[in-house]
Each structure stands twice: as C-alpha cells, then as structure tokens.
C-alpha cells in the first residue's frame, strides 16, 4: 500500500469517500510514513514504527482504526487512531504520555481494562476539515459500547495555549476554553465530541505550545453495565463530569510543579481537526 504524499491533493478531497476500518498489517507501512508527515518534529525513535503498529494490532486489533481515502485508485491511509484498554486510578491520575503508551509499544494494554485510553489521533494535514477526527472518535465510541467499557480517557493537548501563555496560566486557559471564551484547536473539538475535563496533566509531554501539559479528558459510556459479579458503582464515582472552577484550578496548580518550556517540540498526543 502506497503512503500518502506530503503534497496536498490538487482538488479538495471528498469527505464522502472516507472509509474508516480497523487497522490491518497491510496499512502499517503507510501509517509509519504518515507519522513523519503529521509529526515532523518527532525524533526517529519516538515515531510509531512499522514494528510498533504491528504490535498494536497483535495486542488489541479491534481498538486500532484507520481512515482510508482513494488515491490513484487505491485506498490509502490518511488518518489513524491508536487505543488500548486500561484500569485507571482517577485519584492519582498524573502520568506522562510515554508512560501511558509504554514507549509506543502499548505493552501495558490490559484485556480486562474498564477504560479505553486514546493513545494517538493523527490526521494528514491535507485531509483535515473533513470530519475524519469525528469519524474516528465514533469508531472508538462504538468499541467502548461493544466491549461494555466504562468509557474513554485521553490526554488532550492545548496547542492554542502558546498564544496566551504570557497572560494566563495553563489552568486559567483550560477554564476559558471549557467556558467557551477561548477556542483551542484540539481541546475545543474534543469537548464538542462529548468529552469532559477531569484535570490537568502537568509535565505530560514536551510540547511548549501546550506548556508541556495536557488535559485529562473523559467520555463516559452511558450504556455501561457493571458485571454481575461486581457491585454496581455510579460512573460519576470513577470519572465525574468536571467543570473547572477558578478556585479549584488555582489550588490544583499550586500542588504541582511549574511547567518548563523546552526548546524542542516533540510528538503531540492528538493532532487533528
């Protein structure tokens, strides 16, 4: 399967021709090439390589999705998302991106995990604005329902923070995005897709645009049914919808280390429109 070119198509792509399916081994070479287009600042060892994609398929095939578009008569990957199952401690949620994805191999995937963790969402720049991200999120929502998981969690970057980092803290910026007073390229889209903010992940990833931070976002499964052998617990106990308040964010910010701003940008967790 040929990798999609770095050059934009001559005409605007037709959104109706996008096909979303589970990732298969024949998609892997093109997906590995797509990584370098979507994440050009990433160090070579930090890309999802062909070997890592194959490992994802081996570990959790039903949780890997690709968006295909006909190019030169062949369906070609133009976007993808990577997920795994996990048990998540919402009382101690601070973690780094590389910790979450086991350095890209997803070997911490737990087949009994109650939550789907969104480890990657990438869309080729020339194919953004076609609602591909929404289609991939819908594929993730469907697997959550089919597997009867509690819901989805992810770390959402806040790349728009770079335009406000001189006058706002990360917490203040996130609050204003949640309130709709500011629009963030990533977080605002995820809020529109039904995600709620649970907290801020400090020193999550080296992305100076986001102040090295991400927001912990949660989208619960309203159809979740606890196994018969387990006592029923309200979903809100594990992942309550969190409406940030200025006072709570200020207190939370003081208890965690201040963000640093490295000079090098590395891989975003989510890069889609």
Tell me, yes or no, whether 242 lies in a domain.
yes
**Is 10 among the domain residues?**
no
Q: Are strands 196-201 and 214-220 parallel, antiparallel or unpaired?
A: antiparallel
Residue of 255 and 24 predicted with greater confidence = 24
In a domain, 116, yes or no: yes
Whether the pLDDT of residue 82 is over 50: the answer is yes
Report the alpha-carbon angle 197-202-204, nearest 5. 95
pLDDT of the residue at 79 = 97
Cα distance between residue 20 and residue 6, in whole Å: 21
DSSP state of 147: T
What's the Rg (C-alpha) of the chain?
A: 18
Number of domains making up the chain: 1
The CB-side HSE value for 144 (13 A sphere, CA atoms) comes to 24
Residue 256 Ramachandran class (φ > 0 left, ψ -120 to 50 alpha, else beta): beta
Residue 265 lies inside a defined structural domain of this protein: yes
CATH code, domain carrying 201: 3.40.630.30
pLDDT at residue 6 in the model? 54
Reported pTM: 0.81
The label of the residue with tokens 């999705």 reads 65
Decide if 23 is inside a domain: yes
Alpha helices in 6-131 (DSSP H): 28-38, 50-59, 97-100
Higher-scoring residue by pLDDT: 251, 55? 55
> How does residue 12 score in pLDDT terms, banded at 50, 70 and 90?
confident
Domain assignment of residue 113, yes or no: yes
| Number of residues that this document lists for the chain | 273
Tell me the residue range of the domain where 144 lies: 15-271
Instruction: Measure the CA–CA gap between 219 and 257, rounded to whole angstroms.
Output: 27
Flag whether 254 is in a domain: yes
In a domain, 83, yes or no: yes
- The answer, yes or no, to whether residue 34 has pLDDT greater than 50, is yes
Terminal-residue alpha carbon distance, the chain: 25
Task: Residue 271: name the closest of 148, 140, 128, 85 by CA.
Answer: 128
For the segment 135-152, what is each residue's pLDDT rounded down to a tens digit?
Answer: 999 999 999 999 999 999
* pLDDT tens, residue by residue, 157-202: 898 999 999 999 999 999 999 999 999 988 998 999 999 999 999 9
Instruction: Calculate the CA dihedral of residues 108, 112, 115, 118 and round it to 10 degrees.
Output: 40
CA angle 63, 227, 108 (to 5 degrees): 35
pLDDT reported for residue 38: 84
């Amino acid at each position: 399967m040929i990798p999609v070119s770095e050059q934009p198509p001559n005409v605007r792509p037709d959104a109706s021709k996008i096909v979303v399916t589970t990732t298969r081994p024949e998609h892997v070479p093109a997906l590995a090439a797509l990584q370098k287009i979507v994440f050009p600042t990433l160090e070579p060892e930090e890309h999802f390589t062909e070997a890592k994609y194959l490992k994802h398929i081996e570990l959790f095939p039903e949780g890997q999705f690709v968006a295909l578009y006909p190019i030169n008569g062949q369906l070609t990957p133009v976007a993808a998302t990577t997920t795994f199952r996990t048990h998540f401690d919402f009382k101690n949620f601070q973690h780094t991106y590389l910790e979450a994805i086991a350095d890209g191999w997803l070997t911490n995937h737990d087949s009994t995990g109650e939550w789907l963790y969104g480890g990657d969402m990438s869309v080729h720049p020339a194919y953004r604005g076609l609602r591909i991200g929404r289609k991939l999120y819908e594929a993730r929502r469907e697997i959550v329902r089919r597997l009867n998981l509690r819901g989805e969690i992810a770390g959402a970057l806040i790349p728009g923070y770079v335009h406000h980092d001189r006058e706002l803290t990360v917490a203040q910026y996130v609050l204003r995005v949640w309130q709709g007073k500011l629009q963030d390229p990533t977080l605002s889209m995820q809020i529109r897709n039904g995600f709620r903010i649970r907290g801020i992940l400090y020193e999550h990833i080296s992305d100076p645009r986001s102040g090295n931070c991400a927001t912990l976002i949660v989208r619960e499964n309203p159809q979740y049914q606890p196994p018969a052998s387990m006592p029923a617990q309200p979903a809100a106990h594990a992942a309550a919808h969190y409406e940030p308040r200025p006072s709570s964010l200020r207190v939370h910010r003081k208890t965690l280390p201040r963000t640093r701003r490295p000079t090098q940008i590395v891989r975003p967790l989510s890069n889609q429109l």
